[in-house]
Structure 1
Amino acid sequence: MSGRLLIVEDDPRLGPIMRDVLAASWETELRASAEAGIDAVLSHGYDAIIVDRRLPGMSGEELVRELRRRKVGTPILMLTALGELHDRVAGLDAGANDYLVKPFEFEELSARLRALTRDYTRPDEGVAIGSWTFHPLDQCIDSPYTGRVLLTEVEAAFLAVLAAEPERTFSREYLLSAVFPRGESPTTVETYVHYLRRKTDRDLIQTIRGSGYRLGTPA
């Protein structure tokens, strides 16, 4: 077993299916509302939490914010039927570690959960960024203040491009084509720069006026 998993999903079909499918690898529990999810988290320990963004009453985003306000650090994967960038960022800003857009394949859901709960204690070199250490394969960065910070796949890919050539300034156009799928708006780059800074340190990425972005040296 991979550990204890809480699923907060009100869909009467999807919730039980997720619970039963993931039960092959996890000790799963299902709750149908944010309020019931909070009660479960505060009463039991979990290794990962899946939260649907659209829940009756308190939304999934509000649930995540409340858990983070209560200092619950359990990795959270948010499910959303809304695939627009601003909707995904809203979930991440609330405190979720990753998101998955419905409909999804259970193989991908399982892979996302494995990534969120992977054992990061094994030794590896990592990439030093100031006093921080970036682990691109593990999709995380070690903070000198708070410990491990989980990154999404896109955040890790974005930071990996900058870290590969730390002295280089990358244009927005280059970063857009190197990291994001076709069709994303140029403002996507600024959005992810903002999100990485918010998750880590404002000096992690430097803005070079008129040119683009480069790796910073956060304390």
Structure 2
Amino acid sequence: MRVMLIEDDRETAEFIQRSLTELNWTVTWCDQPKDGILQLSTGSFDCVILDRMLPDMDGIAVVQLLRGAGVATPVLMLTARGGLDDRVAGLEAGADDYLGKPFAISELVARLRSIARRTPRAAEQTLYELDDLRLDRVARQASRSGTTLDLSPLEFKLLDCLLGHVNEVVTRTMLLEKVWGYRFDPKTSLVQTHMSRLRAKVDKPFATELIRTVRGSGYIIGET
């Protein structure tokens, strides 16, 4: 197995490299994310071990750049930040699995073997366009009729989720899980409040309404 390791901590990297080499795996270590991105875009690897906290570039940004460039190599993200929001952010950015530090080598190996066995993912769509609405997932920017939309991170996630299901109903439960990471209903108007703010920015200043409420179900985005 050929493994790309992007990790800036020498002690951790040497431990991983030594342990995996004992399995006759080939490990290429890069302590700078830009070097790792370059090698992944030009070389062939079975999987990637990617540290969440890196100098100059966050691990989330690294995996977004890889997916945006069409690099489908499975990614296991390592982090000392094991909160639900951090795990969701990593997985939604395009990582295939998430492992908290400290970790056991046996678990690391098992997870790497698991993601390497999976069917290679298709390159994820990085640009959504609907009528005069445009959302760039890599640049994290949205615009309509050439006007940049000043969206909060949550509003961007909501719009991204809707555009991933054009002309399909996206339920309130789906939004709670995908945007907030909730596995339960908080029994609040959280979704309605943020959707109202999003629609005020995406629809109200323009002639055509793209986001519509489906009463009793959720929301739908599409050309009318």
- TM-score normalised by length of structure 2: 0.54
Residues 39-50 of structure 1 correspond to what in structure 2 (within 5 A)? Answer: 39-50=38-49
Residues 65/6 of structure 1: CA separation in 2 closer, same or farther (3 Å cut): same
Structure 2 match to 1:35: 34
Q: Residue by residue, what CA displacement relative to the aligned partner does 1:2-22 show, whole Å, maximum 9, x if unpaired?
A: x21000000110011101111
CA distance, structure 1, for counterparts of residue 181 and residue 51 of structure 2: 28
Alignment of 1:101-140 (within 5 A): 101-118=100-117
Aligned to 2:204: none
Deviation at 1:43, TM superposition (A): 2.5
**Cα gap change, 1:187 to 1:110, in 2 (>3 Å):** same
Change (3 A) 1:85 1:21: same
Q: Distance in 2 between matches of 1:98 and 1:12?
A: 22
* Cα deviations by residue, 1:14-42 (Å, 9 ceiling, x for unpaired): 01110111112311110002111111112
1:188 aligns with 2:183: yes
Cα distance change, pair 186–60 in 1 and its aligned pair in 2 (3 A): closer
Please report how far the alpha carbon of residue 188 of structure 1 lies from its aligned counterpart in structure 2 after TM superposition: 3.1
**Residues 160-184 of structure 1 deviation map (CA, whole Å, 9 limit, x = unaligned):** xxxxxxxxxxxx9xxxxxxxxxxxx
Partner residue, 2:65: 66
Q: Percent identity?
A: 39
- Separation in 1 of the partners of 2:89 and 2:48? 18
Structure 2: which 5+ runs fail to align? 124-172, 174-179, 186-215, 218-224
Q: SS of 2:10's equivalent?
A: coil
Distance 1:27 1:79 in 2: 19
User: How many residue pairs align between the two structures?
Assistant: 134
* Paired amino acid for 1:8: I
Distance in 1, matches of 2:181 and 2:52, equals: 26
Q: Tell me if the contact between 2:85 and 2:181 (Cα under 8 Å) persists in the aligned partners.
A: no
Q: Which has the larger radius of gyration?
A: 2
Residue identity matched to 1:74: T
Whether 1:6 aligns to 2:4 is yes
Structure 1: runs of 5 or more not aligned: 121-139, 148-171, 173-184, 191-208, 211-219
